[in-house]
Amino acid sequence: MSSQVNYSQHESAIVDDGAQIGEGSRVWHFVHVCGGAKIGKDVSLGQNVFVGNKVTIGDHCKIQNNVSVYDNVHLEEGVFCGPSMVFTNVYNPRSLIERKDEYKDTLIKKGATLGANCTIVCGVTVGEFAFVGAGAVINKDVPAYALMVGVPAKQIGWMSEYGEQLDLPLQGNDEVTCRHTGAKFTLDGTQLSKTEA
């Protein structure tokens, strides 16, 4: 990789004029970043990643190989996109019908993990530190800390910020401590929140 400005870019990558890429970010082989993209610091864009014009990618995100981040997709800080996972931006695409004015916004919140080969159908919000399993299809909003698997995806549990499953029911009133970090989480009905660091 060769050094360019304040981030590194492989010679095979294409970064269009106007693209904003933060300090310490790494742009690997055969990446294409469009001119309207806004990318934070310490972001890794793996081999063959595409980033559209109307895209924001927060600090410390990792976009693994073969991921296309299309227009109207927004990633907050620390999002992990596994290899070959898929974003969409039109709900009912047709090749013969122009639908660029129908793009739906997709928001992936801080710390969420999107597993390899999963699909995020446009127009949803994936909550903070949610965990989407490999191959899952997300077609509705995902609560913070939820563990989602299957096609279509269903919630099967809760995940800590550390990335391990918490011993909690899907709903009720309960409390648990992450064994790795000591963080405390409280379940209130169907919502999980972190109560102490």
91-102 pLDDT tens trace:
999 999 999 999
How sure is the predictor about 190, in pLDDT bands with cuts at 50, 70 and 90?
very high
Q: Is residue 159 part of a domain?
A: yes
From CA 105, how far away is CA 96, in angstroms rounded?
Answer: 22
Q: Is residue 190 part of a domain?
A: no
Residue range 50-91, pLDDT digits in tens = 999 999 999 999 999 999 999 999 999 999 999 999 999 999
Can you tell me the mean pLDDT for 175-190?
Answer: 94
Closest C-alpha to 40, from 58, 53, 17: 58
Q: Is residue 77 part of a domain?
A: yes
Q: Is residue 117 part of a domain?
A: yes
Give strand pairing partners of 166. Answer: 158
Q: Is residue 183 part of a domain?
A: no
| Token digits of residue 6 | 């304040």
Domain range for 134: 2-167
| Long-range pairs of 189-193 with CB within 8 A, sequence gap ≥ 24 | 190/143, 191/143, 191/144, 192/143, 192/144, 192/145, 192/146, 192/158, 192/166, 192/168, 193/144
Check which CATH number belongs to the domain holding 134 and give it.
2.160.10.10
From CA 49, how far away is CA 82, in angstroms rounded?
Answer: 11
Q: Is residue 160 part of a domain?
A: yes
Which pLDDT value is given to residue 25? 98
How sure is the predictor about 1, in pLDDT bands with cuts at 50, 70 and 90?
very low
Which pLDDT value is given to residue 196? 76
Closest C-alpha to 111, from 142, 150, 138, 140: 142
Buried b (16+ CB within 10 A) or exposed e, 38-65: bbbbbbbbbbbbbbbbbbbbbbbbbbbb
Give strand pairing partners of 189. Answer: 172
Q: Is residue 97 part of a domain?
A: yes
User: 139 in the Ramachandran plot: left (φ > 0), alpha (ψ -120 to 50) or beta?
Assistant: alpha
Q: Locate tokens 């410390």: which residue?
A: 60
Residue range 118-175, pLDDT digits in tens = 999 999 999 999 999 999 999 999 999 999 999 999 999 999 999 999 999 999 999 9
Tally of domains within the chain: 1
Decide if pLDDT at 4 tops 70: no
Q: Is residue 144 part of a domain?
A: yes
